[in-house]
C-alpha cells in the first residue's frame, strides 16, 4: 500500500490549478441546479395558478348548473301542479260528459216516446180516411168528377154510395203538368195511343163514419176480380213515418211473393212470414229489395221447415 508520503507527493504534483477547476465545476453545477429549481418553482406556481383559475371556473359553472337545476325544478313543480289541475279538470269534464250522456239518452228516449205517441195519434186521427190509387186523372178533372169516380169504385164493391157520408173527396198532391186532357182520354178509348204521363195522383176520401171506412177497407181485395177496377188499390191514410214503414214492408211482401212464399201478410207495423214476424228495421236479407235471387236448389229461410 502507498504510504502517506507518496500521497503528498502526488498532491504536490497536481498543483493549485487543479483545485480551481474543481471549484468552477462545482459552481456551474450549483448554478444549473439553482436554475432548474427556479424553473420548477415557476412551473409549480403556474400550475397552481391554472388549477386555481380552473377551480374557480368549475365552481362558477357548478353554481350556474345549480341555478339552472333549481329553475328547472321550479318549472317541473309548476308543470306538475298544472298537470294535476288539468287532471282534476279533465276528471270533472268526464263526469259532466257522463252525466250529459245519461241525460241525453234519457231525453232521446223521451223524444222517441213522444214521437211514437204523436205518430200514433196522427194515425188514429186519420182512421176515417182511405186513399184510392191508380184511378185515371185528366187535366180538367173537377171535384164532382173525382167524387163520381170514387162512388163508382164503392158501387163495384157492392156498397151503396148514397148511404155513405163523406167529409171530403179530393186528389192528394201537386197536379202534374203532363196529365192527359179529356180529349186525350177519349182518343185513347177510340184506339189511338195514349201519350206518356206520370201515375195519377191518389184520391183522399174522408168518411164521416169509421164504420163506412171499415166496410170499404174490408172489401178492397174484391177489386182485383172486377174488370175495369183490377188496378185500383185502396190503402189507409197514414202519417209520413207510418207510410214509409208500410212502404218498406210492402216491398218485402212483394219480394216474398217473388220467392213463392205463400204464408206472408202485413199486420200493423210487422211483416209475418210463415211463423216468423219482422219489424221494418229487422227484415231478413233475403227479403230486401236488392237481395240476390235464390237458386232453385236453395230454400228460403222463411220456407224452411
User: Tell me: the pLDDT tens digits for 141-176?
Assistant: 899 999 999 999 999 999 999 999 999 999 988 876
Mean pLDDT score, 228-233:
90
Residues 271 and 277: beta-carbon distance below 8 Å: yes
**CA-to-CA distance for 243 and 236, rounded, in angstroms?**
9
Distances (CA, A) of 220 to 14, 180, 266: 166, 27, 15
pLDDT digits 0-9 by tens, 42-89 = 888 888 888 888 888 888 888 889 888 998 888 898 899 989 999 999
pLDDT digits 0-9 by tens, 258-273 = 888 889 988 888 899 9
Mean pLDDT score, 114-120:
91
**CA-to-CA distance for 124 and 120, rounded, in angstroms?**
6
Residues 115 and 192: beta-carbon distance below 8 Å: no
Query: How does the average pLDDT of the chain come out, rounded?
Result: 82
% residues pLDDT > 70 (the chain): 81
* Helix (H), strand (E) counts: the chain: 6, 7
Residues 236 and 129: beta-carbon distance below 8 Å: yes
Bigger pLDDT: 96 vs 199:
96
Mean pLDDT score, 25-47:
85
**What's the confidence (pLDDT) of residue 23?**
82
Bigger pLDDT: 260 vs 188:
260
Please give the CATH topology (third level) of the domain spanning 127-175+199-237: Alpha-Beta Plaits (3.30.70)
DSSP summary character for residue 260:
T
Nearest to 146 by CA among 170, 173, 179, 172: 170
Nearest to 175 by CA among 205, 222, 141: 141
Sheet strands side by side (includes 233-236): 166-171, 203-207, 129-133, 233-236
DSSP summary character for residue 289:
T
Report whether pLDDT(291) > 70: no
Terminal-to-terminal C-alpha distance of the chain: 148
Count the Cβ atoms, other than its own, within 10 Å of residue 150. 21
Neighbouring-strand partners of residue 133:
233
Neighbouring-strand partners of residue 168:
206
Distances (CA, A) of 171 to 131, 134, 147, 206, 240: 9, 12, 10, 11, 17
Nearest to 59 by CA among 69, 47, 51: 51
297 — pLDDT class (breaks 50, 70, 90):
very low
**CA-to-CA distance for 217 and 197, rounded, in angstroms?**
29
Phi-psi region of 236 (alpha: psi -120 to 50; beta: other; left: phi over 0): beta
Q: Which helix (H) or strand (E) holds 11?
A: helix 4-14
pTM: 0.57
5 — pLDDT class (breaks 50, 70, 90):
low
Residues 156 and 226: beta-carbon distance below 8 Å: yes
Amino acid at each position: 500500500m502507498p504510504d502517506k508520503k507518496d500521497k503528498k507527493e502526488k498532491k504536490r504534483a497536481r498543483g493549485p490549478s487543479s483545485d480551481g477547476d474543481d471549484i468552477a465545476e462545482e459552481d456551474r453545477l450549483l448554478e444549473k441546479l439553482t436554475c432548474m429549481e427556479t424553473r420548477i418553482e415557476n412551473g409549480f406556481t403556474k400550475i397552481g395558478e391554472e388549477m386555481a383559475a380552473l377551480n374557480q371556473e368549475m365552481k362558477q359553472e357548478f353554481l350556474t348548473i345549480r341555478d339552472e337545476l333549481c329553475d328547472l325544478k321550479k318549472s317541473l313543480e309548476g308543470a306538475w301542479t298544472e298537470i294535476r289541475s288539468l287532471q282534476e279538470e279533465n276528471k270533472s269534464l268526464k263526469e259532466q260528459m257522463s252525466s250529459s250522456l245519461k241525460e241525453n239518452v234519457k231525453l232521446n228516449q223521451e223524444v222517441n216516446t213522444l214521437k211514437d205517441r204523436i205518430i200514433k195519434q196522427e194515425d188514429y186521427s186519420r182512421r176515417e180516411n182511405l186513399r184510392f190509387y191508380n184511378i185515371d186523372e185528366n187535366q180538367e178533372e173537377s171535384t164532382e168528377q173525382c167524387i163520381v169516380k170514387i162512388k163508382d169504385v164503392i158501387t163495384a164493391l157492392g156498397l151503396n154510395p148514397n148511404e155513405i157520408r163523406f167529409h171530403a173527396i179530393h186528389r192528394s198532391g201537386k197536379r202534374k203538368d203532363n196529365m192527359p186532357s179529356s180529349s186525350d182520354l177519349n182518343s185513347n178509348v177510340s184506339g189511338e195511343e195514349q201519350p206518356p204521363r206520370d201515375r195519377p195522383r191518389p184520391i183522399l176520401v174522408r168518411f164521416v163514419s169509421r164504420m163506412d171506412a171499415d166496410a170499404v177497407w174490408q172489401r178492397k181485395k174484391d177489386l182485383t176480380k172486377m174488370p175495369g177496377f183490377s188496378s185500383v188499390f185502396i190503402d189507409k191514410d197514414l202519417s209520413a213515418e207510418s207510410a214509409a214503414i208500410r212502404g218498406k214492408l210492402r216491398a218485402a211482401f212483394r219480394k216474398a211473393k217473388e220467392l213463392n212464399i205463400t204464408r206472408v201478410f202485413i199486420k200493423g207495423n210487422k211483416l209475418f212470414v210463415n211463423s216468423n214476424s219482422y219489424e221494418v228495421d229487422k227484415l231478413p236479407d233475403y227479403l230486401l229489395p236488392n237481395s240476390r235471387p235464390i237458386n232453385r236448389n236453395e230454400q228460403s229461410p222463411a220456407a224452411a221447415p
